[in-house]
Amino acid sequence: MLNHLKRLIDLVEQGDAGSIHADKCLEEIYSELKKYGMIMESEGRIFFTDKGNEARLKGLQIGIEQLKLEEEMIDLSEKKGRLGSTFFFISLFLFLVTLTLFLMMDFTTYSLWG
């Protein structure tokens, strides 16, 4: 994987889109980098974006892993929010059912003795 990343970096620096698209492994890495906005293609040439240059300085693999973690955190926070509201509505429903049953029992008991 590391050799493929180095080769991809060299080809992007040369702007050689044909060689990248010809190699299946490089194409997969290219697609992932493009998905995260690290690489752009314009007029048949490929180049790094500002985000890609910054990630290249840190190491492309570290940059990709960091973006994946951020996506997972966003997904988890969205799921957590949905579960919280679901729990609230279920609790509210059960409270209202319990209150209704309590009041019905209280009125029934009161009317029998009254």
| Residues 20/27, Cβ–Cβ less than 8 Å | yes
Inter-CA distances, 102 with 88, 111, 112, Å: 21, 14, 16
Residue 86: pLDDT above 80?
A: no
Q: What is the pLDDT of residues 20-42, one digit of tens each?
A: 888 898 888 888 888 888 888 88
Which has the closest alpha carbon to 63: 28, 39, 27? 39
pLDDT-derived band of residue 109, with 50, 70 and 90 as boundaries? low
Helix (H), strand (E) at residue 48: strand 45-48
Helix (H), strand (E) at residue 42: strand 39-42
